[in-house]
Amino acid sequence: MDKFFYLIIEGIKNTLRHKITAFTAIFSLFISLYIIGVIIIAGDNTHKILQYLRSKYKIEVFFKENITNEEAIGLIHKIKKIKGIKNATIIEKADAVRIFNDQFGENIIDLLGYNPLPASTVINVDRNVRESIKIEPIIREIRAIKEVDEIRYQGNLINKIERNYTKLVNYLPYFSGSIIIIIGLIIYSMIKISIYSRRETIKSLELIGATRMFIKLPFIFEGIFICFISVALVFPSLFITTKGINYLISNFTSFSIKANFDPYIFIWLLVLVLLISIIASFRATSSFLK
């Protein structure tokens, strides 16, 4: 037991003995983990941003002039059954007059002597779907209803957003995976270099009769200690970054979204970096042992 504690303490002492190496390692790990953390947070919040944008999707359907409010309600029930539609709000003929009045400052009935404005409905699409929303099939189904006179929607904008979202969903895992692999290799190389600089120590320990495990464990514990420090620094930094982004969004933009910070990110980062560090320390020391 004394021996095991000695090896743990040696691992921690090694960090203090080689302050510049340790500082470089902690700094590099901090930067690497911060980038990974930002990617994880961005990935985690992508859907939220999309949901916000999707909440702005609107389809306005105008019924033929002769359709009464009651008939319009029946048609709306029919429209609601179309796959991909979340809800639909009726704008009765009288509501249309009010809206006209609000927008143009004139009462159309006073002008024309009758109400020419049709009943209509504003449709919201179901935004809680992971896959991209296909707006055209919905429009086709609505258009097939013979009582529908006109449909207004931001087709190009919706298609553009959905197309870019699909691209993001398709490429983000590859992009994140590549970044994580590159950063993993950086961490791995950094630990190897740090151990390489102490190959004489490894040789001396070998000559004293130290077993391979006795030589490796302090390096592994040192790596673990450095990882803990790095993650402990990264976690509050990511938290502050998220808070900062939310502050900027709420104070300087008109978006009503809030980036979410998942506390489990701490565990993910720690597991990731510990895994890389243990493998790198183990392999690097092995390469200097006969």
14 vs 230 by CB, closer to another protein: 14
Cα separation, 192 vs 198, whole angstroms: 10
21 vs 45 by CB, closer to another protein: 21
12 vs 210 by CB, closer to another protein: 210
Cα separation, 37 vs 58, whole angstroms: 35
Least distance from C-beta 201 to another protein, angstroms?
5
**What is the b/e burial string over 204-219, where b = at least 16 CB atoms within 10 angstroms of the residue's CB?**
ebbeeeeeeebbbbbb
Place of tokens 């950086």: 186
Going by C-alpha positions, the residue among 54, 208, 76, 226 that lies closest to residue 131 is 54
Cα separation, 290 vs 274, whole angstroms: 26
Least distance from C-beta 16 to another protein, angstroms?
10
Least distance from C-beta 277 to another protein, angstroms?
20
Least distance from C-beta 27 to another protein, angstroms?
20
Q: Which residues contact another protein by CB under 8 A? A: 2-3, 6, 14, 17-18, 198, 200-201, 203-212, 214, 290
86 vs 199 by CB, closer to another protein: 199
Least distance from C-beta 5 to another protein, angstroms?
8
- Residue 249, token pair as written in the block: 């969004």
144 vs 208 by CB, closer to another protein: 208
Going by C-alpha positions, the residue among 280, 189, 225, 237 that lies closest to residue 35 is 237
